[in-house]
Amino acid sequence: MGTECAYNSIAVVGTGGYGRHFISALLATRKFVRVRAVTRKTSDDAKRKRLQALQEMGAEIFEYKSSSTESFKQAFNGIHTVISAVSIAAVPDQISMIDGAILANVQWFIPSEYGVAHYPSVWMPFTSPLAPKTVVQKYLSDYAKPKGLSYTIVYTGLALDYLDPKSLGLKLSTGSATLVGRGGSPVSFTAFPDVVSLVVNIVQRPAEMQNRFIRFAGSTTKMRELVKIVTNNDRGENVKIVCIEEAKSKFCELARRQDMSAFQIYSRLLIEEGLGQINRYREPLDNSLFPELHPEPIQQTLRRLIKANEATAKAKLKPNPAHRSATTKSVTDGLGRTQKQLDGED
Ligand SMILES: NC(=O)c1ccc[n+]([C@@H]2O[C@H](COP(=O)([O-])OP(=O)(O)OC[C@H]3O[C@@H](n4cnc5c(N)ncnc54)[C@H](OP(=O)(O)O)[C@@H]3O)[C@@H](O)[C@H]2O)c1
């Protein structure tokens, strides 16, 4: 990697989950003359604090009122590279983002992915929740690229330290698990900080990284291996097995009621079908292009999460001195006499 980045003016759209970490890591490289956070206009206090913190680190802030082409054209004025880190709900807005980027002469657009590849499911007769992301990919390759806007699609598999492990059936607090099927299909995982390092690395290497897919997996393992770590045994104790047909009917029942928990069952079915592996059809992984990255293996991520969970549980059990003094105060008259003394029992 060169010491200076040719595409040194960058915007990140979305300041939530991944976005704000991309912004702070980009600023930390000191390779960019401009790092701009592009965010929806808000008066929400928590978000204002988040924006203020980013600004204090050195980010420019651009707030937009509507997801129109014109708004994004203004947002990307003077920008070479756009990283989109918008939520799944905002994926379709990326079409006007791309149109705005073309009008603003942006040269490189990285759409919001950082997850699994878009393989069609044979098991599930439903449109994939990833379908809008596929539309964006097609728009980039067929429409935007001929107009001079390059793209990079980044697949990293699942980030267990970002998702709630419970959503995959791993119950850390009780050391138990629920598996859909045998848990025997390989799944790609990359820990959250490694995804951030990867994206920051990619945007500094335009010549090598443009107009291609990057498949990076911190590690690949089967769900049943993770279940062994969580339940601390390999005999299936504390493991509830849900049959595939049973999960499919539960999914259909919930989906018909438009119950959002249907999505969790859907994800677990797709994992068991093998669609959580970003190189399911033997597409080569690109890890060797990033020798400076040393991703955390999933087993280590999981152990880290289990430890953090135990520490939180312990902290909840431990008598907190602050709480104790608050209680003491509540039963004294403010001069140190306890309620018992005041009641004349001593
Ligand atoms: N591999 C994994 O395990 C994994 C896990 C989670 C997510 N992902 C993927 O990572 C990408 C980013 O996800 P994320 O979790 O970082 O997103 P998120 O936290 O849900 O949202 C990111 C930001 O999107 C912006 N946004 C713009 N329009 C929005 C709208 N209509 N509704 C909600 N937010 C909107 C908001 O930023 P402002 O308020 O600043 O506008 C929001 O904070 C997605 O493609 C997602 O599918 C992957």
- The reply to whether ligand 1 has any atom less than 6 angstroms from the CB of 15 is yes
Counting from 1 in the atom list of ligand 1, the atom nearest the Cα of 156 is: 1
* Buried residues in 180-193 as b, exposed as e (16+ CB within 10 A): bbebebbbbbbbbb
- Give the pLDDT confidence score for residue 113 in this predicted structure: 98
Structure tokens at 208: 């090598």
Which residues have a Cβ under 8 Å from the Cβ of 221 and sit 6 or more positions away? Answer: 186, 187, 189, 298, 299
Distance 87 CA to ligand 1 centre (A): 2
- The pLDDT of residue 336 is 30
Ligand 1 midpoint to CA 332 (Å): 50
Mean pLDDT split into 10-residue runs, the chain, 346 residues: 71 97 98 98 93 97 97 98 96 98 98 96 83 97 98 98 94 94 96 98 97 98 96 84 94 89 90 97 97 98 96 79 41 31 37
Task: Tell whether ligand 1 has an atom less than 6 A from the beta carbon of residue 84.
Answer: no
> CA-CA distance, 156 to 278, in Å (whole number)?
7
If DSSP codes are grouped into helix, strand and coil, which group holds residue 40? strand
Residue nearest to atom 47 of ligand 1 (CA): 88
Residue 284 sits at φ, ψ, to 5 deg, of -65, 140
pLDDT above 70 coverage of the chain, percent: 90
Which residues are CB-contacts of 242 (< 8 A; sequence separation ≥ 6)? Answer: 178, 179, 180, 181, 250
Note the pLDDT of residue 292. Answer: 97
Within the chain, residue ranges assigned H as helices are 17-29, 45-57, 69-75, 94-103, 131-138, 192-202, 206-209, 223-231, 244-256, 262-273, 298-317, 321-330, 339-342
For residue 112 and ligand 1, the question of a CB distance below 6 A is answered with yes
DSSP state of 238: T
CB of 113 within 6 A of ligand 1: the answer is yes
Backbone torsion region of residue 282, taken as left when φ is above 0, otherwise alpha when ψ lies between -120 and 50, otherwise beta: left
Please give the distance, rounded to the nearest whole angstrom, from the Cα atom of residue 36 to the centre of ligand 1.
17
Instruction: Give pTM, 2 decimals.
Output: 0.90
Evaluate: CB of 1 within 6 angstroms of ligand 1: no
Query: Are 186 and 158 a contacting pair, CB within 8 Å?
Result: no
Q: Is 183 in the pocket of ligand 1 (CB under 6 A)?
A: no
Q: What's the 130 CA to ligand 1 centre distance in angstroms? A: 14
| Cα 257 versus chain centre, distance | 27
pLDDT of residue 320: 58
β-strand 170-171 against 60-64: which pairing, if any? unpaired
Q: Pick the atom of ligand 1 nearest to 112's CA.
A: 45
62 ligand 1 Cβ < 6 A = no
DSSP H helix total and E strand total for the chain: 13, 12
Q: How far is the CA of 15 from the centre of ligand 1 (A)?
A: 8
DSSP assignment of 293-342 equals --PPPHHHHHHHHHHHHHHHHHHHHSPPHHHHHHHHHHTB-SSS-BHHHH
